Amino acid sequence: MSADCLFCKIIAGEIPSTEVYSDDAVYAFRDINPQARVHVLVVPREHHEDAEALAGNPGLLSSVLKAGAEVARVEGVRESGFRFVFNTGDDACRTVFHAHLHVLGGEQLSGFGR
Ligand code: 5GP
Ligand code: ZN
């Protein structure tokens, strides 16, 4: 746990969230400001600053991706399609410094980029 980290506080239950999936390695919850009908954040329970740092722990990265796939299944978007996003750095508008996978779907998504 990292002091002053929003997602560490959410994982610890100090800040309320709506759980979608949970296991020993990860916690998944609804984004407070959804950008699609389905918008869930999958976070490793262990604090890592961003996806690049998470890549140093391939087992944990794999757990995050597997949990994302499970989220897509339980949210009913596995067949219709979904998007995995890791924002890293300022140009990607990353705002929370605890690695998180966005799972987006449930409707036709727009193209991404600029
Ligand atoms: P980023 O921009 O860093 O990739 O994504 C951070 C995400 O966290 C944003 O989509 C934002 O809406 C979400 N978020 C920020 N604060 C909270 C919160 O307190 N609760 C929840 N559930 N989501 C949050
Ligand atoms: Zn954290």
| pLDDT by 10-residue block (mean), the chain, 114 residues | 91 98 98 98 97 94 98 98 95 94 97 83
pTM above 0.85, yes or no: yes
Q: Is 101 part of a structural domain of the chain? A: yes
In a domain, 113, yes or no: no
CB of 108 shorter than 6 A to ligand 1: no
Q: How remote is the CA of residue 99 from the centroid of ligand 2, in Å?
A: 8
In a domain, 52, yes or no: yes
Give yes or no: 100 in active site.
yes
Number of domains in the chain: 1
From the CA of 70, how far away is ligand 1's center (Å)? 20
Could you tell me if residue 111 is inside a domain? no
CATH number of the domain within which 43 lies = 3.30.428.10
CB 93 near ligand 1, within 6 Å: yes
In a domain, 58, yes or no: yes
Nearby residues of 62 by Cβ (< 8 Å), 6 or more positions away? none
